[in-house]
Chain A
Amino acid sequence: MMLPYLIIIPLFGAFATPIVGLAGRKAREPWAIFITALTLGVAAELFYTVWKSGEILVYTLGAKSPLGQGVGFPIRIVWEVDLLGALFALMVTFIAFVAVLYSSEYMKHDTGLEKYYTLVLVLEVGMLGIAITGDLFNFYVFLEIMSIASYALVAFRNDTWEGIEAGIKYMFTGSLASSFILLGIVLLYGQYGTLTMAYLAKMIAENPTFTAKVALGLLAGGLLFKSGAVPVHMWLADAHPAAPSSISAMLSGLVIKIGGTYALARLAFSVFGMGVSTKTVGWIIILFACATLIVGNAMAIIQTDMKRLFAFSSVGQIGYILLGIGIGLAAYGSDVGNVALAGAIYHTVNHAIMKALLFLVAGAVIHQLGTKNLNELSGIARKMPVTSFAFLVGAAAIIGLPPLNGFASKWLIYESSALFNPFLAAIAIIGTAFCTAAYIRVLFTFFGRPSERVMNATEPGKAMLVPMLILVLAIIVMGLFPWVISEKVMIPAAKTLENAGAYVTALLGGA
């Protein structure tokens, strides 16, 4: 069973980094790359196992069986991995590996790098934990591990006011969101006396009390906060641009999804799916999704700071993912809901790759030119052709041009929203129009007439180009087989998420 090593390896790497750092300044980067590569291998193996067998893996911490002695219900902490969790674990380890590889050159000039790599690995541990956990309090612990590591990483470059201000703002809003989530968990524990998600799902299905609904409201509120949905997106637009670019790639690509939309989907479907009215919950999420779609993408147009533009675009893309989840809930059990949910899952993976690529491009520009102001970056394509090509691919994919990966996932969301309610499809299209306008503007800047500042720019080194090209390759390859991926991975993943009964019986047996 490889599952525990998904946590053990990066945790070991994080704790050992200060000791490895004593061996010399050159030892830290290879160590971090080695650890993330090993984790990626474990996650790939886990994903293959789960995908091939189609079963839900259950792992009990500290004992042979999750059941207590002499009682018929689970008392241990369990990890429960279905196809969706395994897919997201693979996504997390892949992006983390690419970001760490990129950091080896991008962060070369910074001090305190053993802290940086420790925090990056801890961040990865937190996200992997959320993806695989099957216990509500364990989920909260991993959520806090992830959040605290990201607060510190946002403020990592503490020589400018920008990083510190954003870090403090992120910490305040993030802690507020965490308190909501903790309060929701406390209410559920007080009402039902258990924290195991599968058993809780069974209890809620049997007796859905008012307290459980209040708890769902608190949990959903906190998680929407964490995922940066409008109207609580203000921290995101500060925190993501202020972080070092390799960290922005992980924050925008992974953290807001694993700690936001994935957790929301997991709780809404697997825990509350059989107890509350999915139609009501779905429509509430759809309302937030529509606001997020419009505001996020529209705000992206007016930014002059490149990383801020990408951050607002992340808000907009979170809107699509929430729309998919909302329709999946509101049309629970129908084909439309299934397609919408598959689109949301697919778009989560695609957006992780695209937005990581775009932030790495922004990082390369900052590293070579020292500015992220779009007004000063005119004509960069002449001097940095590879970087600009990577940007072109990333921007085309995020708009949803057909040969690239963003097309298929957006298509699934448009298609299902048009079938569910044409009005929602119209909103989704308007969001894309705004998104296109924002990226076309950056594209014109990149390919426009060269400004003086740009004339003596050069391409970054190999350690920064290779990670970008890996992501470009991933976008193109995923774009070539969109429907195969959708049929073989995304639709089954959506089906496992919808099948809350299987999530319960995997742990509790056929009872």
Chain B
Amino acid sequence: MGSDMGLIVKTTARATIPLIGIFGAYIVSHGHLTPGGGFQGGATIAGAGILFLIAFGFGEMKRRYDHHLYSALEGLGGLAFLGIAMLGMGVAFFYNTLWHSGPFFNGQPGTLLSAGYLPVMNLAVGLKVFAGLVSAMVAIAAYGRWKE
């Protein structure tokens, strides 16, 4: 291969990538309660992808990365965001109908299942940011010096 890194880096990456992913998922899902949210969490998860790209090289990344899939996922994230914003169209665009009238995500403020559309929107934004950032990094790697 030639473009991947040494054994130590690869072993460490194997150990840390899942942890980074979990931490990112935590930031996304607690976006309405703690600092952070969809964008920050999505960028953290994308950090796991970028670590994979750097540690294992562009060739390995290319085998596991499907451009159409990521492109579609990014579109899906945007569409989900827009769809949730339209749920309350009866009152207004971006009306938080889940919070005002349920049926879910209308729990006690401060608990995980509260804040109406915010957690769902965070998930959508997280998906979009993750897919977009990983795609951008793969594109940069493809144009850059990392030849196979």
Given contacts A18-B71, A19-B75, contact A62 B82 (CB under 8 A): no
| CB-defined contacts of A114 to chain B, threshold 8 Å | 71
Which residues of chain B have C-beta atoms less than 8 A from A297's C-beta?
A: none
Q: Contact flags (1/0) for B71-98 with A, using CB distance below 8 Å?
A: 1101110110010001011011111100
Residues 99-120 of chain A: 1 if any B CB is under 8 Å from the residue's CB, otherwise 0? 0000000000000001000000
CB pair B71–A63 under 8 Å, yes or no, is: no
Q: How far is the CB of B76 from chain A (nearest CB, A)?
A: 7
Q: With a CB–CB cut-off of 8 A, which chain B residues contact A62? A: 88, 92-96
Contact of A19 among B72, B88, B93 (CB under 8 A): B72
Mark out the residues of chain A between 10 and 25 whose CB falls within 8 Å of any chain B CB in the assembled complex: 11-12, 14-19, 21-22
**Contact residues in B for A61 (Cβ distance below 8 Å):** 92-94
The reply to whether B91 and A18 contact each other, CB–CB distance below 8 Å, is: no
Residue B68 is within 8 A (CB to CB) of chain A in the complex: yes
Residues of chain A within 8 A of B72, CB atoms compared: 18-19, 22
How far, in angstroms, from A64 to B90 measured CA to CA in the complex? Answer: 10
Write out the residue numbers on chain A whose beta carbons fall within 8 Å of the beta carbon of B93.
Answer: 4, 7-8, 59, 61-62
| Alpha-carbon distance A62/B95, docked complex (angstroms) | 4
- Interface size of B by CB at 8 A reads 18
Closest A residue to B73 by beta carbon equals A18
Closest to B68 in A: A22
How far apart sit A60 and B72, CA to CA, in the bound complex (Å)?
32
> Which chain A residue lies CB-closest to B79?
A15
Pick from A15, A59, A60: contact of B75, CB below 8 A. Answer: A15
With A19-B72, A22-B68 already in contact, the answer to whether A14 and B92 are too (CB < 8 A) is no
Contact A16 B79 (CB under 8 A): yes
Residues of B within 8 A of A16 (CB): 75, 79
13 A-B pairs with C-beta separation under 8 A: A4-B92, A8-B82, A8-B86, A8-B93, A11-B78, A18-B71, A18-B74, A19-B79, A62-B92, A62-B93, A62-B95, A63-B92, A114-B71
| C-alpha spacing A15/B77, complex, angstroms | 8
* CB-based contact A15/B82 at 8 Å: yes
Residue contact B75 to A18, C-beta cutoff 8 Å: yes
A residues sitting closer than 8 Å to B (CB atoms) are 4, 7-8, 11-12, 14-19, 21-22, 59-64, 114
Of the candidates B76, B79, B89, the one whose C-beta lies within 8 Å of that of A12 is: B79
Closest to B74 in A: A18
Interface residues of B in 50-88 (CB under 8 A from A): 68, 71-72, 74-76, 78-79, 82, 86, 88
A12 neighbours in B (Cβ, 8 Å): 79, 82
Q: Complex formed: what's the CA distance from A376 to B26 in Å?
A: 62
**Distance from B136 Cβ to chain A, minimum over Cβ atoms (Å):** 12
- Which residues of B lie under 8 Å from residue A64 when comparing CB positions? 91-92
Residues of chain B contacted by A21 (CB below 8 angstroms): 71
Decide yes or no: A14 and B91 within 8 Å by CB, A22-B68, A22-B72, A114-B71 being known contacts. Answer: no
Cα distance A17–B82 in the bound complex, in angstroms = 14
In the assembled complex, the Cα of A63 lies from the Cα of B71 at a distance in Å of 33
Asked whether, in the complex, the Cβ of B92 is within 8 Å of the Cβ of A59, the reply is yes
Q: How far is the CB of B86 from chain A (nearest CB, A)?
A: 7
CB-defined contacts of A63 to chain B, threshold 8 Å: 91-92, 95
* A-B contact sample (20 more), CB < 8 A, given A11-B78, A62-B96, A114-B71: A4-B92, A8-B82, A8-B93, A12-B79, A12-B82, A15-B82, A17-B75, A18-B74, A19-B75, A19-B79, A22-B72, A59-B92, A61-B93, A61-B94, A62-B92, A62-B94, A63-B91, A63-B92, A63-B95, A64-B91
In angstroms, how far is the closest chain A Cβ from the Cβ of B144?
14
B91 CB → nearest A CB, Å: 6
